[in-house]
Amino acid sequence: MAHPSQLGFQDAASPVMEELLHFHDHALMIVFLISTLVLYIIVAMVTTKLSNKYILDSQGIEILWTVLPAVILFLIALPSLRILYLMDEINNPHLTVKALGHQWYWSYEYTDYQDLSFDSYMIPTQDLTPGQFRLLEVDHRMVIPMNSPVRVLISSDDVLHSWAVPTMGVKMDAVPGRLNQATFIAARPGVYYGQCSEICGANHSFMPIVVEAVPLIHFENWLSLMLEDA
């Protein structure tokens, strides 16, 4: 969960998000080195006439300016492609949940179990209890087992929405008439918050997403209660 004056990303709760954080730090260091080099060259050109001779008329510098960007792109592309393939990899998920966006709430359907579906509405401010977060808490959370691959099928019933949970490293558009999918693994138990990331109308900011990761035994107990109620 984000906190006031936070610098950087939220703590990763899935292996994919951990990889994304590492890639961010990797790319940021490359940008820092490039900025430092360019700043040094600018200062040298402005302050020293001797440097202008070597910087502007040097064949070695021209070769460096040609080869160096190619090497930098190579250093960025390899980890980037690795993470992209990792995010698209879906092998035998233990649980499949269909998330359907509406104006302005989400509905969830556990496709592996018959008759298990529910709507998830934001809790109004006046109905919040102590400890709940304003504009983020919902009446029915999406409950998943931790340390299990979860596939989320995402679509929309009306307009464009986007199902996003930053701590899980998941952000997928919900497009009417199209079924997108995302996968993640909750590495630890907890409650993780997200919001619709697509401007979908007047109440766009009032359709939060809450994912609760619990141990398998607690998930089975929750599942039994939900199936009995259904």
pLDDT over 70 at 86, yes or no: yes
Give the pLDDT confidence score for residue 98 in this predicted structure: 95
Q: Which residues fall within 8 angstroms of residue 160, CB to CB, at 6 or more apart? A: 173, 174, 175, 176, 198, 200
How confident is residue 1, by pLDDT bands cut at 50, 70 and 90? low
| CATH value of 95-229 in 2.102.10.10, 3.40.190.10, 2.40.40.20, 2.60.40.420 | 2.60.40.420
- Give the separation between CA 61 and CA 154, rounded to whole angstroms: 51
Choice among 44-48, 54-58, 129-133 with the minimum mean pLDDT: 54-58
3-state secondary structure the chain: CCCCCCCCCCCCCCHHHHHHHHHHHHHHHHHHHHHHHHHHHHHHHHHCHHHHHHHHCCHHHHHHHHHHHHHHHHHHHHHHHHHHHHHHCCCCCCEEEEEEEECCEEEEEECCCCCCEEEECECCHHHCCCCCCCCCCECCCEEEECCCEEEEEEEECCCCEEEEEHHHCEEEEECECCCEEEEEECCCCEEEEEEECCCCCCCHHHCEEEEEEECHHHHHHHHHHHHHHC
The average confidence (pLDDT) of the chain is 88
Give the pLDDT confidence score for residue 50 in this predicted structure: 52
Domain ranges of the chain: 15-88, 95-229
pLDDT over 70 at 49, yes or no: no
Give the pLDDT confidence score for residue 123 in this predicted structure: 94
Give the pLDDT confidence score for residue 230 in this predicted structure: 67
How confident is residue 22, by pLDDT bands cut at 50, 70 and 90? very high
Say whether pTM exceeds 0.85: no
